Structure 1
Amino acid sequence: MKKWEMVPQIFTGEDCLSRLEQFENERVCLVCDPFLIGSENLQKVLVHLEKKNEVTTYSEIVPDPPIEIVAEGVARMRDHQPTVLVTVGGGSAIDTAKAMLFTMLVSGYDKVKRFVAIPTTSGTGSEVTSASVVTDNKEKIKYPVFDRRLIPDEALLDAQLVVSSPPTVTAYSGLDVLTHALEALVAKNRTTYTDALSEKAVRYVLTYLEACYNNGNNLNARKKMHEASCLAGLAFDAAGLGINHAIAHQVGGQFKVPHGLANAMLLPHVVNFNAKDPEARRTYAKIAVQMGLGNSSLSEQLLVTKLIKAITKLCKKVDCPMSLQEFGVERKVAMERAQIIAQNALKDSTYPFNPIAANESELISVYTKIV
């Protein structure tokens, strides 16, 4: 039995931040990226909160949020005793807020009445998912945490907040969206509903990511990518992910490769590997036809090849290094970590949803394609 539900309320449009006017006489914990402090974007949020509420800001956010940063945030929450949690920023800020909330919840804190996420990048889809990823820097491992209580009550999608996102962040986060969508399409818990969301997300990424990369002020393209990120987040939260993320989490933990870039490096090779599964191969072939990459008279394998070429072409157009060597990791070092990366990938919570139960040697084989 499979279940489909849409939990978060999603608000879009230039006036969606006005939803924050609903809060009066609340103790608001605002979690945001440090570079937002003093910015016009953050002011657009605060103007709706500060008049009628007590707001405390936690902005000590770093990429791939480590356990220590989360612990510091939890200490701040315990001091402040918030009734509302609002997070503004990229995936790291939202994941940090979720991890803080999770820690508070498991310790018995039940005063947070409303959780609102406002993404400023178009990538993780974290504003609508039950997932949070934290990093153990000592062990060099990323830990995804899934809990339905971490799904925000509301997601406010204002594309104007993404306009200032730099090209590199735009590229990596956009390819994270593509990975979410393509993994969800073949994941074990996929449904007709998640397929519809994934297919739309794939179309939007292939159509609009390059435009966002070349001209960050293209508001229409930004809006489409912001929506694609949300659609893909809804899809994978229900359908699951797979070995692309399972390996990428380890690559990020070991070598500090940005998450979206690690996914992008692996994606062509994971699609090729998963295409050994007949149902996955049919699904990839179908999406290739839908994207206009070939017609249905072609063989499924040829259509998969065309899909892989389209992914690789897009990655190159947005200037993504497609190997760890290109990123600056020595091949010898990368090869030495192959076994530990595969072993940890097997334990990753995204691994079980892959259409093929890849063993350790198969995971090593996929990983070494990007070395």
Structure 2
Amino acid sequence: MAAQCVLEIFCLEVLNVSIPAGPSGHEQLTPSMRDVLRRMERAARTPMHQLGAAAAKAAYEAGAGVLEIPKQALARVEDLQIPARDGAQLPARLYASLGREETPAAGLPALLYLHGGGFTVGSVATHDQLCRQLAHLAGCMVISLDYRLAPEFQFPIAHNDAWDALQWVAAHGGEWGVDIRRIAVGGDSAGGTLAAVCAIEARNIGLALALQLLIYPGTTAHQDTESHRRYAHGLVLDEPAITWFFAQYITNPADREDWRFAPLLAADVDNVAPAWIGLAECDPLVDEGVEYADKLRMAGVPVELEIYKGVTHEFVKMGRVIAEARQAHAHMAAALRSAFGLA
């Protein structure tokens, strides 16, 4: 028990969150989520947005997996490279519960996964446990992409990398055992933004996707919803962090109005892939997630929306202590299995 507490405190320290007394919305938190935030408060470390990009990346890498469920063993985990339009080779990691020799001749359906981190932090490594769990529970292949990050690579590089990777998987995934007739795209936070935009791009060229799996995606050009005001301070993702992340990625103010950054501004979303959208109730991004679900529904797109009560942004990566994370994993896997036609 003592070792577990030390591990939790280490993780919460590197998340770099401080909590002011009694912020609006804290009364909604589950006991487990409130306990996580108390530990963050006691850690009293320098907030990520004050560290600088390099130190923030290192801090997130150091603690990203500590509150997650144990690493799921899989029959197949392979590191790959995917070419981008400018000749860069993008690292990626393939996960599958079946080995190459066990993979059906038609291949396995595949999810291209795009990690979160405000376009500035995060990697294949920080989302390794989550991708393993999705591959295990859904019985599909998961391909996790290391798209290039700000501030070294600014808008629209992350989008271009994600879209290039999705097209590559659709065209060449059969070489890895992908059933290219059954492909989905998904991600969390900034990765959810990228996934939503990729689904629109796919519609534009006639690439049929089975599903877009969006975990608390950012969808607005500006952080001006009521939930951004209500949850501006004291939770895992706060206003100073959001402002800092986007300042790393967007240097031209006009780019904030580009639908590839803010998919709510897309001219239309008719005929995009069906969506599963999972949101955290106590999250600055919850309102824009609901707005995007409404935009899709009004266009006739099938949408399954889950709002997990009493939890914050990043909760899906806290499955060791947050029960709602494990519920979300099961819901995501069920959505993937249904979209892929898996028994």
TM-score normalised according to structure 2 size = 0.29
Report the structure, 1 or 2, having the larger strand content.
2
- The TM-score normalised by the length of structure 1 is 0.28
More relative contact order, 1 or 2 (CA 8 Å, 6+ apart): 2
Pair member with larger Rg: 1
Q: Per residue, is there more helix in 1 or in 2?
A: 1
